[in-house]
Homo-oligomer: A and B are copies of this chain.
């Protein structure tokens, strides 16, 4: 029954695959983020070339524009975005909870105002499933509440119980049985709440299990400590998705604990601001720095992306300095290539039992560096 196939383990790191109606992807894997249905600056042919197997889109953004009925009317999210492989959508909850505008949270759902036109909207577990079904995604996420890391224990517990009831409502609302549905555990860095969430969510017939509420402002150590026991609490038979994470180091740590899927805006958002990730020590630099103005090397001599195949650091430094859009495009493609290449190396290292060695190399480079950020889920 499970759509997840575990092929090999190296320590707790898992090499597997996951089957969706839009195709199978190999894990561990990273999903480029196409918030509004477009990975910023990257067309779908480049996306495929750089190793993308599955793309993420944001339900909240597509719901407001162009609207899920419209996406459905033009043939669904695959026809719409041009990405024919698997697509995962979030539930929309994370964005709605991030809104500054007035919102009211009840057992039924969340009333909020659109950040575009101020119109009142209502997001419920059933509504979210309906939107994701209309989009026609391969994998939908159940609506959960992701509380701020600063709320007190009692409020957290209350939130967790509502998320559990919403999880059951989400499952009941699904009518498209070929659309996978993942449940999400919350509980912040409270071990007993995480443990309870794992029992609750694993007790439901979700196609996959996601860890929410991490990388939302807590210190890196707290996240790693939570991963250290929490991934073990999830079913081994199902796929494990750590939402909104993260740096290459974060990803390696999570893989070492048994996580299979990741998404994060970091490679594209960082790229748009000139930060490029490299297979070197230090593992990133900002190409806008004037020390690159006459550097004829490619961004990363080990990389084969369109940026590194054709251009020097000097040229990309120039593009950023003069505000040419090609700069952000190239840096985004390069960073995604870096991430997807790392995932490939991770898969290979699990296969030949060299994962720990690879992790030691990456960890050494990231020692004393911290890009661990809040709010990456968007």
Contacts and interface: CB of A to CB of B under 8 A. Distances in A.
Contacts of A36: 318-319, 322, 324
Contacts of A326: 38, 40-43
Contacts of A368: none
Given A79-B312, A315-B81, A73 B324 contact: no
Contact of A65 (B74, B75, B322, B330): B322
A307 B82 CA distance: 10
A46 to B, nearest CB: 9
A306 B79 contact: no
A325 B37 contact: no
Contacts of A318: 36-37, 65-66, 80
Contacts of A80: 312, 314-315, 318
A296 interface: yes
Nearest to A44: B310
A319 to B, nearest CB: 6
Interface in A64-107: 65-66, 70, 73-75, 79-82
Interface in A283-338: 293-294, 296, 306-307, 309-312, 314-315, 318-319, 321-322, 324-326, 328-330
A201 to B, nearest CB: 33
A294 B73 CA distance: 7
A74 B296 CA distance: 6
Given A70-B293, A296-B75, A315 B40 contact: no
A320 to B, nearest CB: 11
The 4 nearest A-B residue pairs measured at CB = A82-B310, A38-B324, A74-B314, A38-B326
6 contacts: A42-B326, A43-B307, A43-B326, A43-B330, A44-B310, A66-B293
